Amino acid sequence: MIKRLIPLQLLLLLLLSSCGTPDSLKNFDSATWKEDRYGCKGERQKLVGELENVRSGLYGKKEYVVRNVLGKPDSETLLERSQRIYYYYIEPGTQCTERGKLSEANRVEVHINPTGKVSEVSFAEPIQTKKPE
């Protein structure tokens, strides 16, 4: 009986340890991003460069990883075949006063495919960031 429990415990430990944030995304200031819901405080604008550096690390990750790193989306669109787009505002706009409507303010759009994985991460409007040297 005990010999059966040891492999089960190891499997459970392995599963629990794999649920964290991937190493490629750990340098992102997730706490500050999450505290600036709807981008109304202007803190997310300051993190756009960091987001640009880790953006490629989001591709192919599961939806729960996006929520761990970026938090609950400010808005969401459901598409056909269980596809979704998560919106995260990066600048103040009308979303700060009218929460039910999509704002014209610039935002990050995270596309989630039918299998629950990130297929695209883009900005509603192009942004100017410095290229890493």
Range of the structural domain that residue 83 is part of: 19-123
Residue 113 maps to a domain: yes
Residue 13 maps to a domain: no
Residue 9 maps to a domain: no
Work out how many domains the chain is built from and give that number. 1
H helix runs in 18-121, sequence order: 30-35, 43-46, 48-58, 63-70
Residue 130 maps to a domain: no
Which CATH number is 107's domain given?
3.30.1450
Which of the given ranges, 5-19, 20-34, 72-86, has the highest pLDDT on average? 72-86
Residue 5 maps to a domain: no
Percent of the chain exceeding pLDDT 90 equals 62
Q: Check whether 27 has a pLDDT greater than 50.
A: yes
Q: Model confidence over 50-103: pLDDT tens digits?
A: 999 899 999 999 999 999 999 999 999 999 988 999 999 999 999 999 887 888
Cα separation, 59 vs 8, whole angstroms:
31
- Give the residue, 35 or 18, on which the prediction is more confident: 35
Residue 12 maps to a domain: no
